[in-house]
Chain A
Amino acid sequence: MTPIKIKAAESPNYLTEDRGIISWLITKDHKRIALLYVFSITGFFFIGGLFALLMRLELLTPATDLVQPETYNKLFTMHGITMVWFFLIPSIPNTLGNFLIPMMIGAKDLAFPKLNLASWYVFMLGGMVTLYSMIRGGVDSGWTFYVPFSSLYSTTYVVGAATGIFISGFSSIMTGLNFIATIHRMRAPGLTWFRLPLFIWSHYATSVILVLATPVLAVTLLMVGVERIFQVGIFTPALGGDPVLFQHMFWFYSHPAVYIMILPAMAVVSEIVAAYTRKAVFGYTFVAMASVSIAVIGFLVWGHHMFVAGESIYSAMTFSILSYFVAVPSAIKVFNWSATIYKGSVSWDTPMLYAIGFIGLFTIGGMTGLFLAALGIDVHVTDTYFVIAHFHYIMVGGSVMAYLGGVHYWWPKISGKMYPEGLARISAMTVFLGFNLTFFPQFVLGYLGMPRRYAAYPPEFQMLNVLSTAGASILGVGYVLPLIYLIWSWRYGKPAPANPWRATGLEWQTPSPPPKHNFEETPEVARPAYDYEGMKEELGLV
């Protein structure tokens, strides 16, 4: 690899400019805040993973022998809460998004640097409140908080856990607002909307969802709290409420929340596919508009979580057809990524392995979504392991793979060091294999009829559960490896050049790691994104 030469950074970078723990805790630098988020969500990821590990161990045998049902119910609840709100929602936007959005648009920082820092503090406060409820005794309502169980029947720390989520929601809103303002107002001269990297389009769409959907979650959780504490009848029929109303409100947030998790993953995959094929993403405009339409249509499909919950046949039909509509832009993206790889100059470096893995797993996740959107099939497979497998293909096979791919791709920029390529490829393949072994058997279990959230199950389901647990152990190894070698490379890795991958983005036209204010001088942009042809001399390509 002969990286192109950009003036080596003799001057201090964002990591060395200020020193000491205090300088990190009061930093307004989006790059440092991104790293604060990386540390926090990595912690939450492994906590959530530990809950998953215990669940998988319990499910090795049909009977409840490792933990009692009470404990099992808390484990899946806390796994869901931790992973959804304290890992997946902030995962890509608050780490890679935070780090890269200003750099990709040639800005010095986000529009509101102090708000950005505040969002991390609010996130941590929320996280600590929820974590405290878990340590105090846990919560067993399911991450979905279905009433009236959560409001009147559960004897666990529902209010505490919900309060933490409520608080962390404000962090989502702050981040969303900040991104929207930044993308509108801080683009470098010449960087028009249709010259933006697709990463920015997807994050823009994500931010709109963060701002519009999160308040509904806040209101919903607040009402659960009010009903639980003051016995005000909002959702519980015995008090005069309606439990289905809760589900409408909850999914009005939580379905778009799926797009909060997957759109940034798509953002990362678009960048990786372009960089590792050295081609502009095929059908740029369609991929960009697909992000926008996913964000818009994504708000209109929440009722597909409720086909057997007691909604009318006609609303079920409406939500079913709209769910098919939202699948179209996802399909468009998959086709365009595939077409980009065709006749590209395809590198097999780790980020590309993750991106190809993403395309495969996201396709399976998306296609099983077509099964679930089909009203008749949903009747049988909803609330079974089929659904569990489906959304893990999207959120773990999709979002987590993309997150890891993105972390590797931008690692030289973030840390200033190269990661060990061979080891990284091995762990990417470990993740892929482990993932499929964990979750593919769950599709079969679901169609067989094994309900989700079961601490004990009939013996004929055992073999598939054993396979799943075996896969989870492999997956666990695949997740621990990068943690180790990335930390190692932070100190011992080869110093990274400014643009090790010969990529086109503005973030690569500044030293690695970047200086505190990203660019020595504000860049001017005169070409579309991924213009390899136009930049070939600069990048040394022939």
Chain B
Amino acid sequence: MNSMQLLPESASVFASQLDLFFWVMVVLCGAVATGIAAFVIYSAVRYHRVRENELPPQNQGDLRLEAAWTITPLIIFIGMFGWGAKLYFDIERAPNDALDVWVIGKQWMWKVQYADGQREINSLHVPVGQAVKLTMTSQDVIHSFFIPAFRIKQDVLPGRYTEIWFRATKPGQYHLFCAEYCGTKHSGMIGWVYAMEPAEYRNWQQQGAAEGSLASTGEKLFHQFGCANCHHFDDQGQCPNLRNLYGRTVLLASGDTVIADAPYIRESVLEPKAKVVAGFEPLMPTFQGMLTEEQIIALIAYIRSLGPPAGGETPASSGSAPRTGTKGIGAAGSTSINETVPGKK
């Protein structure tokens, strides 16, 4: 590897968008800074004191100048804000067709899990041209998942999920860094991202999935931990039906609604009483301390596999009809896919 590099590799859609903005900023700010420096140096040289008792002409200020150099920067700054915010919106909101990958940070390694069941440590394989969404959490302290060649970074927190996404454009091997100081071997919490042509990626995928998909692991856990005892799939259980739940709006006993996404399911497993589904008793025990982050991820993948089908994250339309039925049998009889789907208790 060469010992002198001045520009980072640019290997994602976001990277080229960001570089454009960055270099426009460099040129603009560079021009203004050079102008200021030239003006100051010119003034210091041109008006260098010649006589020790010199009194220069006094000038207290100029209102028009003050207004000009207050308002002009303000307008330019608002433009910078807008451009930066646009890029941020793009990178914070993954497209619906993104490939889901799960990342768990711990002192001092990155554990990666794919929907097909592959697992890796300190490396991430992704296909070029496909949006990839990372859903991440930490087992201990705060970490930060950083791929310079993709220009993306997102802190990885214990106790919740954070997300980032990217679309790689160029096959290659790129650095993966932990960017939030996390203890002794922080600078060793690094790895590689392998961006591969789709065909090559499919080959790689087929090599590793020995244990079955993440969802099938989740299904085993679902039975092993007794979830299936209460969560039936026919709306007859004491607990909400989890089929066709993922991504839909759930009405809570508090009257609020929540989208049944990964953070919500995670919370419901660990803190069942935090958000109780309308029409259900808060019977579920907590699984805090009983499940690892990997197991929770597998359970989420399983619940997701129960539908609605992928890409079916169409938001439930027409508000949320309250299901006030007794014991959660509410909408039985009609279609099981209600506006408001029971999520968990």
Give the CA-CA distance A374 to B77 in the complex, in Å.
Answer: 9
Give the CA-CA distance A449 to B78 in the complex, in Å.
Answer: 27
Q: Contacts A280-B58, A458-B175 known; A153 to B141 CB distance under 8 Å?
A: yes
Q: Interface-forming stretch among A10-18, A163-171, A423-431, A532-540?
A: A532-540
B180 at the interface (CB under 8 A from A): yes
Q: Contact between A341 and B47 (Cβ–Cβ < 8 Å)? A: yes
B residues near A375, Cβ cutoff 8 Å = 84-85, 87-88
Q: Contact between A377 and B47 (Cβ–Cβ < 8 Å)? A: no
B65 to chain A, nearest CB (A): 7
Q: Contact between B88 and A316 (Cβ–Cβ < 8 Å)? A: yes
Task: Count chain B CB atoms within 10 A of each CB in A70, A310, A320 and give the residue with the most.
Answer: A310
Give the CA-CA distance A328 to B70 in the complex, in Å.
Answer: 7
Q: Contact between A283 and B66 (Cβ–Cβ < 8 Å)? A: yes
Give the CA-CA distance A383 to B33 in the complex, in Å.
Answer: 25
Chain B residue with the shortest CB-CB distance to A464: B4
B147 to chain A, nearest CB (A): 8
A364 at the interface (CB under 8 A from B): yes
B195 at the interface (CB under 8 A from A): no
Give the CA-CA distance A462 to B4 in the complex, in Å.
Answer: 7
B133 at the interface (CB under 8 A from A): no
Chain A residue with the shortest CB-CB distance to B77: A324
Give the CA-CA distance A383 to B142 in the complex, in Å.
Answer: 13
Give the CA-CA distance A452 to B144 in the complex, in Å.
Answer: 12
B288 to chain A, nearest CB (A): 9
Q: Contacts A237-B158, A310-B160 known; A346 to B85 CB distance under 8 Å?
A: no
B residues near A464, Cβ cutoff 8 Å = 4
Q: Contact between A370 and B77 (Cβ–Cβ < 8 Å)? A: yes
Q: Which of A278, A282, A458 contacts B55 (CB 8 A)?
A: A278
A: contact size bracket: 35 or more
A residues near B53, Cβ cutoff 8 Å = 2, 502, 540-542
Chain A residue with the shortest CB-CB distance to B89: A313
Q: Which of B25, B52, B157 contacts A370 (CB 8 A)?
A: B25
Give the CA-CA distance A514 to B174 in the complex, in Å.
Answer: 64
Q: Contact between A460 and B43 (Cβ–Cβ < 8 Å)? A: no
Q: Contact between B55 and A453 (Cβ–Cβ < 8 Å)? A: no
Chain B residue with the shortest CB-CB distance to A540: B53
Q: Contact between B18 and A449 (Cβ–Cβ < 8 Å)? A: no
Q: Contact between B60 and A460 (Cβ–Cβ < 8 Å)? A: no
A residues near B22, Cβ cutoff 8 Å = 371, 377, 447
B residues near A359, Cβ cutoff 8 Å = 36, 40
Give the CA-CA distance A310 to B48 in the complex, in Å.
Answer: 53
Give the CA-CA distance A464 to B179 in the complex, in Å.
Answer: 19
Q: Contact between B88 and A383 (Cβ–Cβ < 8 Å)? A: no
A54 at the interface (CB under 8 A from B): no
Q: Contacts A277-B56, A331-B73, A463-B3 known; A370 to B80 CB distance under 8 Å?
A: yes
Q: Contact between A451 and B179 (Cβ–Cβ < 8 Å)? A: yes
Q: Which of A148, A345, A377, A449 contacts B177 (CB 8 A)?
A: A449
Within 8 A of B (CB), among A345-384: 345-348, 352, 356, 359-360, 363-364, 367-368, 370-371, 373-380, 382-384
Q: Contact between A447 and B44 (Cβ–Cβ < 8 Å)? A: no
Q: Which of B25, B36, B180 contacts A338 (CB 8 A)?
A: B36
Give the CA-CA distance A239 to B333 in the complex, in Å.
Answer: 43
Q: Contact between A279 and B59 (Cβ–Cβ < 8 Å)? A: yes
A417 to chain B, nearest CB (A): 20
Give the CA-CA distance A542 to B57 in the complex, in Å.
Answer: 10
Q: Contact between A460 and B3 (Cβ–Cβ < 8 Å)? A: yes
Q: Contacts A149-B141, A328-B77, A345-B55 known; A374 to B187 CB distance under 8 Å?
A: no
Give the CA-CA distance A65 to B178 in the complex, in Å.
Answer: 21
Q: Contact between B32 and A367 (Cβ–Cβ < 8 Å)? A: yes
A residues near B225, Cβ cutoff 8 Å = none
Give the CA-CA distance A139 to B212 in the complex, in Å.
Answer: 45
A24 at the interface (CB under 8 A from B): no
B151 at the interface (CB under 8 A from A): yes
Give the CA-CA distance A73 to B87 in the complex, in Å.
Answer: 33
Q: Contact between A344 and B56 (Cβ–Cβ < 8 Å)? A: yes
B7 at the interface (CB under 8 A from A): yes
Q: Contact between B80 and A238 (Cβ–Cβ < 8 Å)? A: no
Q: Contacts A342-B39, A345-B49, A449-B175 known; A153 to B181 CB distance under 8 Å?
A: no
A220 to chain B, nearest CB (A): 16
Instruction: Classify the secondary structure of A's interface with B.
Output: helix
Give the CA-CA distance A367 to B77 in the complex, in Å.
Answer: 11
B148 at the interface (CB under 8 A from A): yes
Within 8 A of A (CB), among B150-181: 151-155, 157-160, 162, 175, 177-181
Q: Contact between A320 and B49 (Cβ–Cβ < 8 Å)? A: no
Q: Contact between B157 and A243 (Cβ–Cβ < 8 Å)? A: yes
B182 at the interface (CB under 8 A from A): yes
Q: Contact between A140 and B86 (Cβ–Cβ < 8 Å)? A: no
A1 at the interface (CB under 8 A from B): yes
A115 to chain B, nearest CB (A): 37
Q: Contact between A339 and B56 (Cβ–Cβ < 8 Å)? A: no
Give the CA-CA distance A2 to B54 in the complex, in Å.
Answer: 12
Q: Which of B8, B52, B140 contacts A447 (CB 8 A)?
A: B8
A residues near B85, Cβ cutoff 8 Å = 317, 320, 375-376
Within 8 A of A (CB), among B1-38: 1-8, 17-18, 21-22, 25, 29, 32-33, 36-37
B residues near A360, Cβ cutoff 8 Å = 33, 36-37, 40
Q: Contact between B151 and A379 (Cβ–Cβ < 8 Å)? A: yes
Give the CA-CA distance A316 to B55 in the complex, in Å.
Answer: 50
Give the CA-CA distance A332 to B67 in the complex, in Å.
Answer: 10
A456 at the interface (CB under 8 A from B): yes
Q: Contact between B36 and A363 (Cβ–Cβ < 8 Å)? A: yes
Give the CA-CA distance A462 to B159 in the complex, in Å.
Answer: 37
Q: Contact between A459 and B40 (Cβ–Cβ < 8 Å)? A: no
Q: Contact between B178 and A451 (Cβ–Cβ < 8 Å)? A: yes
Q: Contact between B33 and A376 (Cβ–Cβ < 8 Å)? A: no
B107 at the interface (CB under 8 A from A): yes
B residues near A462, Cβ cutoff 8 Å = 3-4
A residues near B56, Cβ cutoff 8 Å = 277-279, 343-345
Task: Count chain A CB atoms within 10 A of each CB in B17, B32, B55, B152 and give the residue with the most.
Answer: B55
Q: Contacts A313-B89, A339-B65 known; A308 to B153 CB distance under 8 Å?
A: yes
B227 at the interface (CB under 8 A from A): no
- What is the 8 Å Cβ interface bit string for chain A, positions 433-472, against chain B (1 contact, 0 not)? 0000000000010011101111111111111100000000
Q: Contact between B160 and A532 (Cβ–Cβ < 8 Å)? A: no
B residues near A278, Cβ cutoff 8 Å = 49, 54-56
Seed contacts A324-B74, A338-B40, A456-B187; 11 additional CB < 8 Å A-B pairs: A154-B183, A242-B159, A279-B56, A280-B59, A284-B60, A308-B153, A324-B80, A344-B56, A345-B55, A376-B86, A380-B148
Q: Identify 29 residue pairs between A and B in the complex whose beta-carbon atoms are under 8 Å apart, listed by A's number.
A: A70-B184, A73-B186, A237-B157, A243-B159, A278-B49, A284-B61, A286-B61, A308-B144, A328-B70, A328-B74, A331-B73, A332-B69, A345-B47, A347-B48, A352-B44, A364-B33, A371-B22, A376-B84, A377-B87, A379-B88, A380-B152, A383-B144, A447-B7, A448-B8, A449-B177, A452-B179, A456-B188, A457-B187, A463-B4
Q: Please give the residue numbers on chain A whose beta carbons come within 8 Å of chain B beta carbons, in ascending order.
A: 1-2, 64, 69-70, 73, 140, 142, 146, 148-149, 153-154, 236-238, 242-244, 277-280, 282-286, 307-310, 313, 316-317, 320-321, 324-325, 327-328, 331-332, 334-336, 338-339, 341-348, 352, 356, 359-360, 363-364, 367-368, 370-371, 373-380, 382-384, 444, 447-449, 451-464, 502, 532-533, 536, 540-542
* Closest 4 pairs between A and B when the two form their complex, measured CB to CB: A449-B148, A237-B159, A376-B87, A374-B84
